[in-house]
Each structure stands twice: as C-alpha cells, then as structure tokens.
Amino acid sequence: METVVNQFTPLPLETRTAIPTDAAAHHLNRKPQTLRTWACLENGPIRPVRINGRLAWSVADLLALLNGEVMQ
C-alpha cells in the first residue's frame, strides 16, 4: 500500500499571494468542485481571481476565512 504524501504547504508558510483551487480546497477541508461552484455562482464566502482563465484563491482571504473573519 502506498503512502500519500501531503503536497500542500501549510497556509501560514505559503509564499505565494494566491494558490490554485486544489490547494485552497485542501486548506478549507472542502472538495475542489465546491470552490469551483462558489466561483461560478459567486455565492461563496470568498471570491477567486482568474489568472489566464484559471482560478486562484488569495492566501490572505483564506487565512481571514479560517480565522472567522467575515469577508465583504
């Protein structure tokens, strides 16, 4: 049986300003499709930015959400 290695950088140690959907979903304990739905319907607690057609989620917004802050 193979061991799965955690490939995601801990959010407080993240050096990028925005991270891809799979990493954001991991930190929020949600499935990536949930975040894609938030982006499509614009009804989630945070909004992504689009970089070359791909979704990127702000690390600052993710940290604020995880700390219980309400996003505007």
Give domain status of residue 25, yes or no: yes
Give domain status of residue 72, yes or no: no
Q: Which domain holds residue 44?
A: 16-66
Give domain status of residue 24, yes or no: yes
Residue type, 19: I
Locate all alpha helices (DSSP H) within 1-72, ordered by sequence: 21-28, 32-41, 59-66
Which of the two residues, 40 and 4, has the higher pLDDT score? 40
Q: Report how far residue 35's alpha carbon sits from residue 24's, in angstroms, rounded to the nearest whole number.
A: 8
Domains identified in the chain, total number: 1
Number of H helices, E strands in the chain: 3, 3
Evaluate if pTM is beyond 0.85: yes
pLDDT digits (tens, 9 = 90+) for 19-65: 999 999 999 999 999 999 999 999 999 999 999 999 999 999 999 99
Under 8 Å CB-to-CB from 20, ≥6 apart: which residues? 54, 55, 56, 57
